[in-house]
Structure formats: C-alpha cells, structure tokens
Structure 1
Amino acid sequence: MRTSIATVSLSGTLTEKLSAAARAGFDGIEIFENDLLASPCTPEEIRERTADLGLTIDLYQPLRDIEAVPEDEFARSLRRAEHKFRLMGRLGTDLALVCSNVSPLAVDDDALAARQLHQLAELAAQYGIRIAYEALAWGRHVSTYDHAWHIVEAADHPALGVCLDSFHILARGSDPKGIESIPGEKIFFLQLADAPLMQMDVLQWSRHHRCFPGQGGLDLTGFLTHVRGAGYRGPLSLEVFNDVFRQTDAGPTAVDAQRSLRLLQESTGVRPPSAAAVEPTGFAFAELLTGDAEPASALLHALGFARTARHRGKPVDLWEQGGARILLNTASDSGRATLSLTAIGLESPDPAAAALRAESLLAPVLPRRRAPGDAPLDAVAAPDGTEIFFCAPPEPETPGWTDDFAPVPHESPAGTDVHGIDHIALTQPWLRFDEATLFQSGVLGLLPHESVDVADPYGLLRSRAVTNTDGSVRIALAVGPAPEHETGGAQHVALATADILAAARRFRDAGGELLTVPANYYDDLAARHEFGDAELETLRELGILYDEDTSGTFRHCYTRTVGRVFFELVQRDGDYRGYGARNAPVRLAAQHAQH
C-alpha cells in the first residue's frame, strides 16, 4: 500500500518537510493548512516541488466547523470552502478533510449536518474535489466514527466519504470492528497515529502525545485489520501531533515514521517482510572507545578481565573473562579522550539475514575499513549512533570475528567471577527515546517491556528494557532529565556473576572503587526484608543493592564512572527478570554525589 505523512508530523519549513518525506521513501503527503500559509512558495511551486520529489499531495487539511450550523454561518463556510477548492486545484490535489464541528454555534441535528455536508460536497464536485468527513474525538456533537458514517450515509453524495483516524477512534475506546460495515469505497482516507496510554483530556492527549505506530499502547494492528476488512485500499497516512517531533530534525523523524509503517504493514500481512526478523542469541562483545587506555585498562583489570588479544590491523584490544568480552578501542583519530561505549556485537544465527532485515527497515549500514583477511562483519547504526554488529556465534574450526585478533601473552586472573554480559544500558538523547525503542524491537527483533520512570536528583529518568525471548540479550534504554547532568548520560555494562560477594571483594582488593551507597538505604532495606545481621552488614560494606520479586532475588553493585562508562556486577537468583528499578534513585543520587 502507498504510504503518506502529514506535514504537521515533521519539523521545519514546508519544503524541508517535503524533502524529508521523499528521502524516507514516502509516496505522498498531507498538507496541513498552516504549513502552506507560512510558506513563501506559491501553490504552483509547491505542486511542482512535490512532483519533482516523486510525491503526490494526497490530502489538504483541514476545513473546520462547517456542518450543523445556522444558515448564515453555513453560507460563510461555503464561501471559505470554495476559495479553498480553487486553491486545491492550484496545488493539484482533489481530497479535502472536513473535521466534525467543535464550535459553540453547532447544533445537535444530524439531518441538518447531512444536508449541509451534501451541499458542501455538491460544491466540491464542481471543482473535481471530494470531501472526507472525520469525527474528532472531542467533536461537539459528532465524536465517533460510526456517528460520522451515519451522517455521511444520510447525506448520500458520491463526493462525500469518511476519513478514519486511529487516534480519534481508539482513544475513545470505540470498537473498530464496526468499521467493516462501512463500504470500502466510502472510506476516502485513513490516518494513523499511536499514543501512550494516559489518563488525561483527550484533546491535550491528541495535540501533544501522539506517536508513530508501535511506539505507544494502541492496537494499530487490529485497527488496520478492520479497515482492510472493509475494503479500504488507499494510502496509509501518518498524522502525528507530538511536541518532541516538532523539535527534532525532520530527516531522522521521517525515517522513523516510514519504519513504523513498514512494521505495521508486516504485522497485518499487508506487506511481506523484505527480510525476516532474526532474534539475537547473545552478546558477542561491548566496545569501548577512548583516547587514553590507562584508566579503562585499570578498571577492566580490577574487574578480573585479562587482555588476551590485539586486532591485527587496528588499535583494538580484546579483554575477556568467562563469556564476557570487551573491546577497548584506542584509535588516535577518534577524537574522543573520554571513555564511551560505542558498539555492541550481537550473536546471531544468521548475521547476513539480520543485516538485510536492518537495511530493509532503513537502518544506516556502516562502512567498514577491512583488511583482506578480516571477518565480514555487518554493522548498522542505532538512532543514538551506537554501532550494532551482527556476529556468528563462535564455533570450533569455523573462522569468526575473534580470528581478527592475534593472541598476546597474558596471565589468567586468579579467579573467574564473571561469566557473561547480563545487560547493557544505553542512554538515549531525550528526543529519540521512542525511535530507539522501535528500532530495537522492529530492527533487532527484541521484545519491549513496560516503560518505567525513576527519580533522579534532577528530575525523572525514563527507562525501558528490550530483551530476546530467553533473556540472554537484555538492553536497557534510558533517557535522563537533562543533557548537562553527565551521570544521567552515562552508559554501563552489567556483568553477570554467580557470586557477587566474591566478585565485589576481588574488584576492591585489586584497587577498584565501588560506588558508595548511603547508610539510609540499608536502614530501609532492613525494614523491607529480613536479613541476618552479618549478611546486611556485608551488603553495606560492599555497597551491594538488593531487590526481590515473587520469582527470585537480585543483588548488584556499581563501579565508579570512568568517562561516560561504569560497570555493574549482577547476581540473579531464581527467575528474577528485572533490573532493580527500586534501587535506581539511590544509585543515581550516589553517582551524582561522587561525580
């Protein structure tokens, strides 16, 4: 199906929005009236520009407060509408959106509404224009799609149909199954928007908090299935009012929008996937980049890692412990002296298919400088710039990415406390959090969990985990309260251990510094859980935090932050699946205090 996007969904000037939509692969656009009014371009110039970009103008919107009004008011509306119909001829579009009336002048009279819409459609037809009537969720007398269809059916004009908007229908809790009773040819247009589930005024909800399909809590898959069941075969168009999208660059937002529509079409069978989703099976590595290797090397050594190999052609060292692998990249041309987490390697049963999937969903494929003998690793960029590598799992006698590294003499650590990477936490730019979630789930095949808000000393921090089916890949996405608070913008790697007490002691004895946790936390812990005196004192001594649920227990502690990176030691017992969210405010406050 063709895809379209309303200009109100993107930031910038009208011409910037058109270019962004075209680059992202949209077929058409809806022109929001305010965007045209603010443009220095004539309608003819806009028409020519869209044609040059390969776009069609699928809808001009909106005409407001027209139907079910006194006759003198309706006469003024017809005059205004006729002017707009002539304008649409200059633009080269033939479909106008009419929203249900919200004016205090509107009267509750369906027969009057139908008669006046018939007259409007008759006038529109003289200009080769059709009218799509949409029920606003806050319409004064018409606020549901079935009511709007009842009026359109009564008006009985071939140039009059309905526009269905997923937000207006689903936000009111209306059952979309009834859409299938509307003849497909009378559904003139379809607008799609998701939204987080919120308890607030529907108008404010709509104006500020809509998002792209798959980023909220509305059932867009079921909705589109019913619309398709009615026989609609027109464009799938996005109309998203969102304060964040209005402040972000139109290019990435348009790509995010197109990706959301491709995933929605996949979920309903409208569009077969260009490449099937390939769920990752584990972490191959986490890569740290720095211009000064000494602090990072000291931290890794204290954690029990050994420097086991060096890349044959690049300044990258491989550090290993158990099944956990960290790459330390000291490229002199990186321009980054501050330690940062720049790449994640994901083990995949089919790396080539995983890369093809990512590319089909508009993930930027990253160019790689490869020597003739280097492993053919494919990488794409996540929305925050993190590089995602797709790696084949290590197999005996099968060349893999680790063969790019030459072993170096090293001493094995005295004991191996860490057996793998438990999870990786990535701080997102606050403008890109929803985009990151959609990328991780749609492109990487991970399952999103519920979003959680935790208190930071300088505001709220939003976090959302994505995992594979068995939990062997866990990524926690977080957005901090403000960019200037560096601890809120740090990233971290959580290392799994079966004995956190031994791991924490070994780290401390090797010269590592654990995050100091306030004594008040342990007083509260004693009130919430029963511990032996010695156990609680040990947790306090090592700065270990504790959580439990009905499935198991969770103990974890943190290193001091180096640059933008810190490590977490994690011990999961039973079937605990969380991340110690209850403890996050204490950890954040402690990090601010020691920053």
Structure 2
Amino acid sequence: MPDRLYSLAALTVLELSPPEMIEVAACAGYDAVGLRLIPATPEEHHYPLASDAGLLRRTRQRLRETGLRVLDIEILRLTPDTQVPRDFPRVLEVGAQLGASEVLVAGNDEDHERLVDNFASLCELAAPLGLHPHLEFMPWTGVKDLPQAHRLVAATRKAGRGNACLLVDAFHFNRSASRLEELVEVPAGWMRYAQLCDVAGPIPASMAEILHEARQQRCFPGDGDIDLQALLGALPPGVPLSLEIPTESLRRQGITAWERASLALDKARALVDSR
C-alpha cells in the first residue's frame, strides 16, 4: 500500500483560525490541511484569509514552521449568477501562494450546460496556477450524485480542461445512494484526493436532516455504518484523504479541536491499516 497523506479539513475544526488549525494539525500528526477561503454559508463564522494580508502572512509562516502543506482550498460555488473571471481569481491566487494543489467546487446550478461552461472556465483559470478543481456531488445541490458528477466532469474534460477532477466524500456518497459499481468507472486520474468520514443510520427522508448531519453530525471512520473498506477499495490506491468530520455534539461537550482532530486521524489510520 503506498504511503498515505492525511489532511485535516476545515469543517472538522471550523472554530479555529487558519494558523490555529495548522498548529492543531501538526500536533495531531497530519501531513496537510485544507483551508476554507470562502464560507460555505452566510451564517458561518469566517476567517477572511483571501482578503486579510496579516492573516495570510501568519498562515504562511505557520506552514513554514510546521512543515505542513495545504492540500486543498474551498469552497468555490458555481451558481446561476457566477462569473468566474470576476469571482475567483483572488481566491485561486491565494490558494497557489499557499501551495495548494486541489480546489473543492460545489455545483449549485440545476442548468448543467451552464454549470459545465462555468466549471470549464474555472479549470482554465486554475490551470496556470497548478490547481485542480474537483467537482463535489452533494444531494442538495445541482450535482446530486456520482453519476451526475461523472457526466459533468467528463463533459468538461472533453472541452479540453484536463485539470477537471471529481471529489468523492464518503458522506455524500452514502447519502446520495451512489454505488461502488459507479465509482470504479471513474478514471483514477480524475480523483486526486477524497474526503473520509462516517455516518450512522439509514438515509433520512428529510433533506434538512441530511444537511444537519453533513454540517454537524458525522462520525469518525469506523464509528458509523458506511462500508468504508469497500469505498477505499474502489478509490485510487493511496489517494490522499481529507478528514472532514464535523462533530458539533462533541465540541459542545468541551472536546477540544485537538482531541477531535486526533481522534479523526487515529480512526482513519486504523481503518486504512486494517485493509
């Protein structure tokens, strides 16, 4: 089994500033972090890394001091109103400055022809910076499951955007009822990293409950009901794993960010090592 890179995703420890997050990740034993340059929701507390020069300087300094790398930046949403040349150059430039190689992209647009056009434009903008945009499927977005994501990335690559990639998150894979048979059909080179977590129980009937689980109530690998061994077996061997595991109930119980990050990494390593 190739050496595995583990990255701490922002959502796991969202209360931390980027320098604090890097410190926690280094102390817990991670290889990398994923940094949230754009908030996922208007209500989310956000550290404006792309616009705060002092925060960006401290973040880069902390990366140098710890030796950690930035795996990915997030979350770039493609909506009906998106204008890629207007909306994303600064974010991509900061991501490149931080040394990121991957970009998390959400397709919040039901018009798939327009979505492909915007995703292709984003890939074109990202390519000179060495960045690979990954379209992530989520049940409540315009890209609801793996087959839709596969078709959209294929169309983008057909348009000549060879850095267009697809992101598999274990939670969304499960809650969208995507299938392993569909995953093995995705070319390995389209998946430069994946997001790992677990979730308990059957798929809720309510999309509001799925959203709540996604943002606050995931499980550490092996503590839920997803067949993560089978999922890992269908992903490219040794693919970097971003641990995106929000556990709001543990945070409210006083479990620190370092403790949660450490538990996530210990559980992920145990799962991978048991294969």
Shift of 1:3: 0.8
State the alpha-carbon separation in 2 of the partners of residues 257 and 127 from structure 1. 31
Cα distance, 1:176–1:151 mapped onto 2, change above 3 Å: same
State the alpha-carbon separation in 1 of the partners of residues 32 and 113 from structure 2. 35
Letter in 2 for 1:2: L
Taking the TM superposition and a 5 Å limit, the aligned residue runs for 1:424-443 are none
2:83 is equivalent to residue 119 of structure 1: no
2:203 is equivalent to residue 196 of structure 1: no
Number of residue pairs matched by the alignment: 253
Tell me which stretches of 4 or more aligned residues in structure 1 moved more than 6 Å.
none
Taking the TM superposition and a 5 Å limit, the aligned residue runs for 1:252-267 are 252-267=259-274
Taking the TM superposition and a 5 Å limit, the aligned residue runs for 1:395-434 are none
Letter in 2 for 1:127: L
Q: Identify unmatched segments of 5+ residues in structure 1.
A: 269-595
State the alpha-carbon separation in 1 of the partners of residues 251 and 270 from structure 2. 23
Instruction: Kindly indicate whether the alpha-carbon contact (under 8 Å) linking 1:185 and 1:232 is maintained by their aligned counterparts in 2.
Output: no
The superposition leaves residues 538-594 of structure 1 with CA deviations (integer Å, 9 ceiling, x where unpaired) of xxxxxxxxxxxxxxxxxxxxxxxxxxxxxxxxxxxxxxxxxxxxxxxxxxxxxxxxx
2:152 is equivalent to residue 151 of structure 1: yes
2:54 is equivalent to residue 54 of structure 1: no
Shift of 1:21: 1.2
Q: TM-score scaled by structure 2?
A: 0.84
State the alpha-carbon separation in 2 of the partners of residues 83 and 162 from structure 1. 23
Cα distance, 1:54–1:125 mapped onto 2, change above 3 Å: same
Taking the TM superposition and a 5 Å limit, the aligned residue runs for 1:276-295 are none
Letter in 2 for 1:210: R
Find the counterpart in structure 2 of residue 7 from structure 1.
10
Instruction: Kindly indicate whether the alpha-carbon contact (under 8 Å) linking 1:44 and 1:91 is maintained by their aligned counterparts in 2.
Output: no
State the alpha-carbon separation in 1 of the partners of residues 54 and 257 from structure 2. 19
Q: Which has the higher helix share?
A: 2
Find the counterpart in structure 2 of residue 131 from structure 1.
133
Shift of 1:92: 2.2
The superposition leaves residues 146-181 of structure 1 with CA deviations (integer Å, 9 ceiling, x where unpaired) of 211111111111111111111001122221232111
Q: Percent identity?
A: 25
Partner secondary structure for residue 16 of structure 1: helix
Bigger RCO of structures 1 and 2 (CA < 8 A, at least 6 apart): 2
2:179 is equivalent to residue 166 of structure 1: no
State the alpha-carbon separation in 2 of the partners of residues 225 and 41 from structure 1. 42
Q: Which has the higher strand share?
A: 1
State the alpha-carbon separation in 2 of the partners of residues 36 and 225 from structure 1. 36
Letter in 1 for 2:61: E
Partner secondary structure for residue 206 of structure 1: helix
Letter in 2 for 1:132: H
User: Equivalent of 1:83, from 90, 110, 116?
Assistant: 90
Cα distance, 1:209–1:40 mapped onto 2, change above 3 Å: farther
Q: Identify unmatched segments of 5+ residues in structure 2.
A: 40-45
2:215 is equivalent to residue 207 of structure 1: yes
Q: TM-score scaled by structure 1?
A: 0.40
Cα distance, 1:79–1:124 mapped onto 2, change above 3 Å: same
Cα distance, 1:24–1:42 mapped onto 2, change above 3 Å: same
Taking the TM superposition and a 5 Å limit, the aligned residue runs for 1:20-99 are 20-33=24-37, 34=39, 36-37=47-48, 41-66=54-79, 69=80, 73-75=81-83, 77-99=84-106
- Give 1 or 2 for the bigger CA radius of gyration: 1
Letter in 2 for 1:97: L
Instruction: Kindly indicate whether the alpha-carbon contact (under 8 Å) linking 1:100 and 1:135 is maintained by their aligned counterparts in 2.
Output: yes
Instruction: Kindly indicate whether the alpha-carbon contact (under 8 Å) linking 1:47 and 1:92 is maintained by their aligned counterparts in 2.
Output: no
Aligned Cα root-mean-square deviation (Å): 2.1
User: Equivalent of 1:241, from 242, 246, 251?
Assistant: 246
State the alpha-carbon separation in 1 of the partners of residues 242 and 131 from structure 2. 19
